[in-house]
Amino acid sequence: MPHQLKEQALFIADAHYPHHGDMFLELLKKIENQTIQTPQLFLMGDIFDLLFGHNNYIKTFSLQAIERIQKLSRSIEIIYLEGNHDFCLKEIFPNVKVYSRKEQPIHYKLKNQDIYLAHGDLYQTGFGYNLYSTLLRNKTTLTLLKPFQKQIINHRMRKLKTKKICGDFIHYQKRFDAIRNHYPKNALIIEGHFHQAVVYKNYISLPSLACQGEVGVIENAEMIFKKL
């Protein structure tokens, strides 16, 4: 039985924390002090610009946000779909329902409507990308890389900090149609990853918190985008 999406469910996608501002941290604070009330928080991937498990050094860049999610996950339901920048998260967030790329998409219902959720990098990515993500999201690889971790992570974080991640995705129709082909025609697909904040046929490309500064919210059984 698929789970139900709840009224006022909140979808945060592509915050790319700790770069691109403090909006993600502010949102977590507001949820914690109940300025924003939600029964169900979906973290749709690339919430962190770089975070993975089995490594303590990478956590030092995002400690405040990590601790807030850990704390919040003891009081509300948090579902975390790993992205291409944040993975192997189960050991970091034991009380969060974490879904790796391999475990996506996840099937939900919104009343009678079938909903499929994924970060957005499941299909149409190519062999190289698939191999790269399988290798990188592997405990052994992460352990082997440990002696070089500071250099690799510092270098990566420096690059990511200045990377331009916002912009219009030209010809997104073709890509979104290709993704849509993997799903039942009458289902609704909700993904992040593309930073577009558009609804195209039955495909919802969520806003990126880093780019549009918006989140998705379920109101009257429909997904709307808004600033909080």
Measured over the CA atoms of residue 213, residue 158, residue 29 and residue 31, the dihedral's sign is: positive
The tokens describing 102, both together, are 């391999």
Identify which of residues 84 and 104 has a Cβ nearer to Mn ion in the complex.
Answer: 84
Identify which of residues 31 and 210 has a Cβ nearer to Mn ion in the complex.
Answer: 210
Identify which of residues 62 and 84 has a Cβ nearer to Mn ion in the complex.
Answer: 84
Structure-token match 């139900």, residue found:
4
Smallest separation, CB 17 to Mn ion (Å): 13
If you count them, how many residues does the chain have?
228
Question: C-alpha dihedral over 62, 64, 70, 71, to 10 degrees?
Answer: -170
Residue 86 is a binding residue for Mn ion (CB under 5 A): no
Smallest separation, CB 116 to Mn ion (Å): 17
Residue with nearest beta carbon to Mn ion: 193
Measured over the CA atoms of residue 121, residue 97, residue 163 and residue 10, the dihedral's sign is: positive
Number of helices (H), then strands (E), belonging to the chain: the values are: 6, 14
Smallest separation, CB 13 to Mn ion (Å): 9
Residue 46 is a binding residue for Mn ion (CB under 5 A): yes
Per-residue binding letters, 150-189, with Mn ion (x by CB under 5 A): ----------------------------------------
In the complex, which residues of this chain contact Mn ion (CB under 5 A)?
46, 83-84, 193
